[in-house]
Amino acid sequence: MNRPIPGTVQVAVRHILSDRVTGGLIRPRTRTITWRDTFLRVRRPQSGKQTVEVICGVCETSLLAEVRDETRTGRTKAVLLTLAAVSVLLFVAALAYAIHEGGKTLPEGQSLPVLFPVSVIGVFVTFVASPVLYTRGRHYDGVSMLSPRREAAGHQLKPVRG
């Protein structure tokens, strides 16, 4: 969207206009969220973390955000992406094991090893966790909401690529 400016980071203050859940009984359940983003550029501290005020462009609510320095942001990003990679490896290993053990024809009276249900759970957990960790890592910008939930109600801070 914008070229990155050293020492700053662009964030979007998301003002939730409406969040409705319809259907559920006859029609499929659908959640409709509408919002409006306000784009802001905040300064990143040289080191450590800093609290900055961001103002919602829709309702002028003042919110507090915490901005981490470049090094810490990069480190957290790397940790998240590493965890995502580990999760993918565990997924492959657990899946291979589950298929291997599950496909065996067992002699009568012998049950599957204890590790079998563990590997099945592992397949499901890592299947969900891998993309979540990857997305979190990819978009992590070191900016997080500091305002208490009650004060920040109806607002979210979203990373902006650029």
Contacting residues toward Zn ion, per CB under 5 A: 15, 56, 58-59, 61
| Smallest separation, CB 32 to Zn ion (Å) | 18
Distance in Å, CB of 38 to Zn ion, minimum: 8
Task: Determine the Cα–Cα distance for residues 121 and 55; give it in Å rounded to an integer.
Answer: 43
Residue whose structure tokens are 């993918």 = 88
Q: How far is the CB of 51 from Zn ion (least distance, A)?
A: 19
Between 15 and 68, whose beta carbon lies closer to Zn ion? Answer: 15
Query: What residue number has its CB nearest to Zn ion?
Result: 56
Angle at 73 between CA 52 and CA 79, to 5 degrees: 145
Shorter beta-carbon distance to Zn ion: residue 58 or 90:
58
Q: In the complex, what is the shortest distance from the CB of residue 52 to Zn ion, in angstroms, rounded to a whole number?
A: 17
Residue 121 or 153: the one with the smaller Cβ distance to Zn ion is 153
Tell me how many degrees the CA angle 50-56-61 measures, rounded to the nearest 5.
Answer: 90
Which CB, 65 or 84, lies closer to Zn ion?
65
Residues facing residue 23 across a β-bridge: none
